[in-house]
């Protein structure tokens, strides 16, 4: 039960809130009284907390929130019946903390309790409350937006990374999906879900499909490639490890909101078949991953052909082609920058969700 719902359950009503002041009331009933027949201290505390909080809320911008840090109540008189009236005002307000004070009077005007409280203030940022989905990619030269359908990703495609993850070299590639809502653009923010454990960076070449196809032969596969981007396959490594151990899918550890930053798209005719391109990732300016796409076990044509054996590829689908060695954890405040030769770069900042 939230504080607001709890206050309503008790019967606390806030009557007035304006310019750092508030008034609240409570009609006393039998359920508010303790075994001695006087109002329970917790009821008075709840009335004061709600009214002092309302005074603070009335003094901060509409898009800000506040939460009680501490509440100190002095209980002065017992009260058995009638209407209790609380009044409160803000005493002092800083950038992040506000202090408020107030009291409760009974129907005869006697002060029955008084309180002082401190409140934490913070700006409400709607974009951190709910991810604003941007499920498209942008062509580098023309700015044309292409809606992204599905995002396929390859789980093991560089021998050194397979070795660092403990996979046998001969293992076939693992394909998994991320939802289009995972996309973040250059300059955006990767948000680590609260309590999710370590999140790792994986820089990858991303193929953008330009033409629909099923069972595409390898020698025709490049005709289905519109262009290339550089992307980050952000991974909740601990959750993924738990899923692997139980044989469960990786959906949540790989597909969470903001888990797929992508750059703008360079057209295929300016890039070629995707081989021999330098792929790098820096964390806070320090190089962590650095490889040539020629080190991929399967090249672009082979991957497009492989994926299309079972799944129809459509214009706007993305294919993350696997990451080289050097993956590692990122933290809130880190700046990530991925680059792919001839293609471009993608830079994002890491935040932790509240
Ligand atoms: Mg990956």
- Spatial neighbors of 290 by CB under 8 A, at least 6 apart, are 278, 279, 280, 281, 324, 326
All structural domains of the chain, each given as residue ranges with its CATH number in brackets, are: 3-122 (3.10.129.10), 134-352 (3.90.850.10)
Which sign does the torsion angle of CA 344, 347, 353, 354 carry?
negative
Distance 153 CA to ligand 1 centre (A): 6
Q: What is the pLDDT of residue 134?
A: 87
273 pLDDT above the threshold of 70: yes
Q: For residue 217, give both structure tokens.
A: 């032969």
CA of 38 to the centre of ligand 1 (A): 64
Residue-level pLDDT at 1: 47
Residue 163 has a pLDDT of 75
pLDDT at residue 15, as a whole number: 87
Q: What is the rounded distance in angstroms from the CA atom of residue 64 to the CA atom of residue 2? A: 18
Q: What are phi and psi of 308, to 5 degrees?
A: -80, 0
CA of 139 to the centre of ligand 1 (A): 23
Q: How far is the CA of 320 from the centre of ligand 1 (A)?
A: 7
State the pLDDT at residue 168: 67
Q: Is 13 helix (H, G, I), strand (E, B) or coil?
A: strand
- Tell me, what's the pLDDT at 262? 98
pLDDT tens by residue, 17-51: 888 999 999 999 999 999 999 999 999 999 999 99
Kindly state the DSSP code that residue 215 receives in the 8-state scheme. S
Q: Kindly give the distance from the C-alpha atom of residue 220 to the centroid of ligand 1, in angstroms, as a whole number.
A: 25
Render pLDDT for 195-251 as a digit per residue (tens, 0 to 9).
Answer: 888 999 999 999 999 999 999 999 999 999 999 999 999 999 999 999 999 999 999
Residue 223 CA to ligand 1 center (angstroms) comes to 24
Q: Which residues contact 294 (CB under 8 A, 6 or more apart)?
A: 275, 276
Q: Considering the chain, what is the average pLDDT of its residues?
A: 92
Is residue 279's pLDDT more than 80?
A: yes
Q: How far, in Å, from the CA of 268 to the mean position of ligand 1?
A: 22
Distance 202 CA to ligand 1 centre (A): 5
Query: How many A from CA of 191 to the centre of ligand 1?
Result: 17
Give me ligand 1 centre to Cα 232, in Å: 8
146: CA distance to ligand 1 center in Å? 22
DSSP tag of 95: S
pLDDT band per the 50, 70, 90 thresholds, residue 354 = low
pLDDT more than 70, % of the chain: 95
The whole-angstrom separation of Cα 102 and Cα 116 is 7
Q: How far does residue 267's CA lie from ligand 1's centre (Å)?
A: 22
Per-residue pLDDT tens digits for 148-205: 999 999 988 888 777 777 776 667 788 999 999 999 999 999 999 988 889 999 999 9
Q: What are phi and psi of 72, to 5 degrees?
A: -115, 120
pLDDT of 3 strictly over 90: no
Task: Give the distance (Å) from ligand 1 centre to CA of residue 217.
Answer: 24
pLDDT average, residue stretch 86-112: 95
CA–centroid distance, 254 to ligand 1, in Å, is 9
pLDDT of the residue at 105: 97
Question: How many Å apart are CA 215 and CA 343, to the nearest integer?
Answer: 27
């Amino acid at each position: 039960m939230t504080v607001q719902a709890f206050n309503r359950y008790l019967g606390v009503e806030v009557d007035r809130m304006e310019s750092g002041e508030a008034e609240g009331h409570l009609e006393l009933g039998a359920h508010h009284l303790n075994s001695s027949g006087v109002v329970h201290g917790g009821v008075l505390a709840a009335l004061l907390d709600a009214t002092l909080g309302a005074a603070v809320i009335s003094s901060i911008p509409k898009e800000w929130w506040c939460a009680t840090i501490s509440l100190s109540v002095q209980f002065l008189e017992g009260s058995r019946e009638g209407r209790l009236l609380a009044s409160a005002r803000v005493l002092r307000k800083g950038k992040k903390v506000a202090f408020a004070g107030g009291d409760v009077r009974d129907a005869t005007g006697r002060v029955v309790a008084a309180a002082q409280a401190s409140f934490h203030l913070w700006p409400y940022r709607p974009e951190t409350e709910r991810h604003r989905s941007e499920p498209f990619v942008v062509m580098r030269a023309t700015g044309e937006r292409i809606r992204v359908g599905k995002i396929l990703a390859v789980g093991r495609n560089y021998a050194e990374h397979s070795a660092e993850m403990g996979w046998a070299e001969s293992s076939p590639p693992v394909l998994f999906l991320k939802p289009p809502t995972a996309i973040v653009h250059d300059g955006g923010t990767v948000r680590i879900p609260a309590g999710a454990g370590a999140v790792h960076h994986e820089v990858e070449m991303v193929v953008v499909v330009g033409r629909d196809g099923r069972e595409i032969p390898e020698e025709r596969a490049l005709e289905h490639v519109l262009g290339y981007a550089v992307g980050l396959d952000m991974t909740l490594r601990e959750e993924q490890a738990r899923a692997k151990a139980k044989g469960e899918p990786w959906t949540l550890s790989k597909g969470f909101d903001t888990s797929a930053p992508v750059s703008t798209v360079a057209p295929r005719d300016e890039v070629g078949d995707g081989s021999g391109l330098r792929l790098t990732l820096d964390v806070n300016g320090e190089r962590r991953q650095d490889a040539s796409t020629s080190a991929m076990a399967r090249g672009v044509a082979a991957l497009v052909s492989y994926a299309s054996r079972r799944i129809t590829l459509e214009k706007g689908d993305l294919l993350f082609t696997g990451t080289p060695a050097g993956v590692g954890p990122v933290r809130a405040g880190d700046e990530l920058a991925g680059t792919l030769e001839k293609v471009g770069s993608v830079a994002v900042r890491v935040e932790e969700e509240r």
